[in-house]
A and B are shown apart, each in its own frame.
Chain A
Amino acid sequence: MKWVLVLMVICATTVGDVFRSLGMRQHGEIHDFRPGAIGSAVGMVARNSFVIISTCAMAVSFFSFMKLVSIAPMSFAVPMSAAAFIPETLLARVLLKEAVDWRRWAGVGLILIGVVFISQ
């Protein structure tokens, strides 16, 4: 059960972040921060199918994580869910065509090892 939840958290977080990035990129850079403009941007984004998929995936991720911390210690749940950084960086490179250079990979590596230590 524990590992099923870990897998669900990692997969749902990855899908959530990648689709959120796709949807927001499709929408374009937000540069108007007046209340009315934010309202219409939220309205537009809420109808974006990538963002809708992302929001559903984020909800799955949130509740799976909640369930995971109820049956496993935080020192296990937190670094395990941070492992989503690996598939996300890979997909950012392959699917989103981002310039992932050695500094981004090394940074992700340091962060992952660091999260394991912090969670102890």
Chain B
Amino acid sequence: MTLTAKTRLFAVLTILSNVAGNSFLTRGMQQLGGIGNSPVALIAALFHPWVALGVVLLIVWTLTHMALLSWADLSYVMPVTAISYVVTAFAGRLFLGENVSLARWIGIVLVTAGVTLVGRTAASSALLEGKPQ
């Protein structure tokens, strides 16, 4: 697998696990309602199915994000994974029937343009050394 293909695969895994993990976690916490600040209640919340699924996905997010940073620049990974804001907006429309306002569409276009711009740079500065650009 080439480095570009590996970078793309891990970027997609990082984005999807982040969006899905946060959505499940939010859904679970909303179902539980106010649980207060006691550590016991917080630990008990981890056994709620949606919360547990969210936490597992966020562990996947942590691992794929770390793997990605082992070869790619932070100033590449951070903006490229920002497409998760767009994925979240679309997920809200698809699964929750949320309305996407004009302001949101403008935001989606701007974020996508920014991510595309950064995505066209080389993922790793180390690879640029000694190579003509």
Which residues from chain A sit less than 8 Å from chain B, CB to CB? 17-18, 20-21, 24-25, 27-30, 38, 42, 45, 51, 58, 78, 82, 85, 88-89, 92-93, 96-101, 103-104, 106-111, 113-120
Contacts and interface: CB of A to CB of B under 8 A. Distances in A.
Interface in B25-68: 62-63, 65-67
Contacts of A18: 74
Nearest to B88: A118
B70 A24 contact: yes
Given A92-B73, A99-B125, A109-B114, A120 B103 contact: yes
Interface size class on chain B is 35 or more
A92 B122 CA distance: 15
B78 A110 contact: no
B128 interface: yes
A-B complex: 6 closest residue pairs judged by Cβ atoms: A117-B107, A114-B110, A110-B114, A118-B107, A114-B111, A107-B118
Contacts of A114: 85, 106-114
A78 to B, nearest CB: 8
A80 B108 CA distance: 17
A111 B77 CA distance: 13
B129 to A, nearest CB: 9
Contact of B114 (A21, A42, A98, A107): A107
A89 B75 contact: yes
22 contacts: A24-B69, A25-B70, A30-B70, A88-B74, A89-B78, A96-B73, A98-B76, A99-B125, A101-B121, A104-B76, A107-B118, A108-B114, A108-B118, A110-B117, A111-B110, A114-B111, A114-B113, A117-B103, A117-B106, A118-B103, A118-B107, A120-B107
